[in-house]
Structure 1
Amino acid sequence: MKNLLFVLLISVHLPLLAQENQPQKLVEDFFTAFHAKDTLGLKELCHSEIILQTIANTKEGNTLEDQSYDDFLKSIASIPANMKFEERILQYKVEMDGNLAHVWTPYEFYINEKFSHRGANSFTLFNDNGKWQIIHLIDTRRKK
């Protein structure tokens, strides 16, 4: 009887645990495609109306910049083959409520193994009939 109860509890909770891991897995897949310069893969992970923004610290102060996703994909595709870049994710913090998820990822960015900048990414995800998609991505960028 104990074994039956255990199996029943596991079978109920495993799908819930799997769904909770899906937003983080989607963001991990985003970075895998990003580092591989896989624009088709990146496009698959994001909603067609994704909003992309950056908060940058400049000499003039903080700025909020919008970027179209098509321009972002073009910039990824135009990175020279000999340039290596890596966004090292320091942590994943996932929060969910039904079909909405938020993934917070502090990072350090390196170009050809040299530190470039650091900041945090804020991903907002939407579960569209069982498929998680990124609908908003905003990041910060600091040199120090």
Structure 2
Amino acid sequence: MKKLLFTTFIICLATRAFCQQAETDAVKATINTMFDAMRKGDSVMLNKTFHKSMVLQSVANKKDGTVALITEKPEEFAKAVGTPHKEVWDERITYGAIKIDGALASVWTPYKFYVDDKFSHCGVNFFQLMKTETGWKIIYIVDTRRKDNCPE
């Protein structure tokens, strides 16, 4: 009986770990698709990663030293991505903490942004995603932007 309980416990742990990893991979795939769309200049591909009620914000340092919260319309961002431009917009991220609770995911990604191969700025993105019938969708992004003290 003890062996059966122990075996059942191990199977439950392994299954849970496998399911959690699959969800983590699916969340990353949504975020990676968003950045692939930016590199390709593909607003249709980009919009497939966004929830219809998505919010996009930046925490910005103003010239006078104060901090402002800037809200951008996702449709304007998608239009900018999809408008033909010669340069490649290349946001290179690393994954930090990824937390998932049911249909909600939270992801921290330090980044460096390049226009073609020229460094532009860096900062951190903080994503919130929601699992829908069609997969994980981005519901919120807030980021920081600066030119120095970039994350490694």
| TM-score, normalised via structure 2 length | 0.80
Unaligned runs of 5+ in 2: 1-6
Higher strand share: 1
- CA displacement, residues 30-73 of structure 1 (integer Å, 9 cap, x when unaligned): 11112111111111111001001011122122211111111111
Give the SS at the match of 2:22.
helix
Alignment partner, residue 71 of structure 2: 66
Aligned to 1:75: 80
Equivalent residue number for residue 19 of structure 1: 23
Between the aligned residues of both structures, percent identity stands at: 32
| Aligned equivalent of 2:11 | 9
- Please, what TM-score do these two structures have when normalized by structure 1? 0.84
Match of 1:117 in 2: 121
Q: Is the 8 A contact 2:95 2:107 kept in 1?
A: no
Q: Does 1:102 align with 2:124?
A: no
Between stretches 98-107 and 52-61, larger displacement belongs to 52-61
Cα RMSD over matched residues?
2.3
Q: Distance in 2 between matches of 1:33 and 1:25?
A: 12
For the residues of structure 2 that align with 1:30 and 1:39, how far apart are their CA atoms?
9
